[in-house]
Each structure stands twice: as structure tokens, then as C-alpha cells.
Amino acid sequence: MPIPKSDYLSEVWKDGIFANKVVFCTGGAGTICSAQVRAMVYLGASACIVGRNVDKTESMARDIATARAGAKVLGIGSIDVRKMASLEAAVGRCVQELGGLDFV
């Protein structure tokens, strides 16, 4: 469900400032992190959010993608940040699907 821009973004940010950048966010389906990622996506970034809950993470990724037409937002669930192999797999998928990683 689209959220009004004023709920997650200040007018001081220049549109497109994160164009051609990729953000990777652990816990990206949560309230605070999803708002931060949504703002970066609105400002041009592609994003990969990871979390433990598959449904919640994938659903939030689809929701964040509504911030900007054509936005690429990848949601990867079943990721345990305490396990390096789990994070490495998520980073690898992010790089493969979005072309790199600029911000964590």
C-alpha cells in the first residue's frame, strides 16, 4: 500500500540523489528500517532488504517498491544475520540481481 511521501521523506533531499545506487538493509521489513529504505528508493536507489520472516520481508519489499515507478526492491527472507553463510548468500543474490552494493 503506497504511503504518502511526507510520512517518510523530508523535502530537503534532492530527487535522484541515490540514482544507480543499491542499498542492502538487514531488518528492512521493520518499521524504522523500511522507512529509511523507502526514502532511498524514492530518491532513486534499488534495494535489497533481508529478514528472518519470508512472507513479511517479501511483502514489505513489494510495498517499498511502490515508492517510485520502476523501482527494484528485492526481499530475501529466512536470513539469520548471526550466521555468516546466510548473510553471504543474501549479499551474493543482491549483487547478482541488482548489480552491486553501495550502501549497507
- Give me the domain span that covers residue 74: 20-98
Residue 50 predicted with pLDDT over 90:
yes
How many CB atoms lie under 10 A from the CB of residue 98? Answer: 20
The pLDDT value recorded for residue 89 is: 96
Task: Evaluate whether residue 1 is within a structural domain.
Answer: no
Assessment of whether the complete model's pTM goes beyond 0.75: yes
CATH, residue 74 = 3.40.50.720
| Cell triple for 13 | 533531499
* pLDDT tens-digit map of 1-44: 678 878 887 788 888 999 999 999 999 999 899 999 999 999 99
Name the domain count of the chain: 1
How far apart CA 22 and CA 29 sit, in angstroms, is 17
